[in-house]
């Protein structure tokens, strides 16, 4: 399969955002390790939507959906960093209640668009 320059660029962007997410996950985990076991679980809980979004976007290389998912990932990541490091009450994870549902909606949209895309490809193969 031939990879176009735009697909190659999107792969690099996805890798960069993934590495940024891993670094943020490690930093959040280290910040919360003041209470060791709770800190690890808190870090995993807050970072898991980020990694699921990156996993979904990786299967949609070169599409507008991938751009939306990567943008939402960066938005979620900056929201996490703000809430944990700069918020007046960083120990209250319920303040993330607005971020996670938005990510879930984006996952469903991505799944729908991915199915639509595969259906279009199947129809093109049948007609050609």
Contacts of 43 (CB under 8 A, 6+ apart): 25, 28, 29, 32
Q: What's the CA gap between 87 and 109, in Å, rounded? A: 30
List strand residue ranges (DSSP E) for the chain, in order: none
**pLDDT digits 0-9 by tens, 27-56:** 666 665 555 555 556 666 666 677 777 777
Quote the pLDDT of residue 75: 72
The upper half-sphere exposure of residue 45, i.e. CA atoms within 13 Å in the direction of its Cβ, equals: 11
pLDDT more than 90, % of the chain: 0
Q: Among candidates 75, 78, 91, which has minimal Cα distance to 32?
A: 91
Quote the pLDDT of residue 78: 72
Q: What's the CA gap between 108 and 54, in Å, rounded? A: 14
């Amino acid at each position: 399969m031939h990879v176009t320059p735009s697909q190659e660029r999107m792969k690099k962007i996805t890798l960069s955002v993934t590495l940024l997410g891993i670094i943020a996950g490690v930093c959040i985990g280290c910040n919360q390790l003041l209470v060791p076991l709770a800190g690890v679980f808190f870090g995993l809980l807050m970072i898991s939507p980020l990694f699921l979004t990156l996993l979904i976007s990786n299967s949609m290389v070169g599409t507008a959906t991938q751009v939306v998912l990567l943008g939402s990932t960066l938005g979620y990541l900056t929201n996490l960093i703000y809430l944990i490091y700069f918020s007046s009450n960083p120990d209250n994870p319920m303040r993330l209640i607005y971020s996670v549902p938005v990510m879930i909606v984006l996952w469903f949209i991505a799944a729908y668009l991915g199915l639509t895309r595969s259906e279009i490809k199947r129809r093109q193969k049948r007609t050609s």
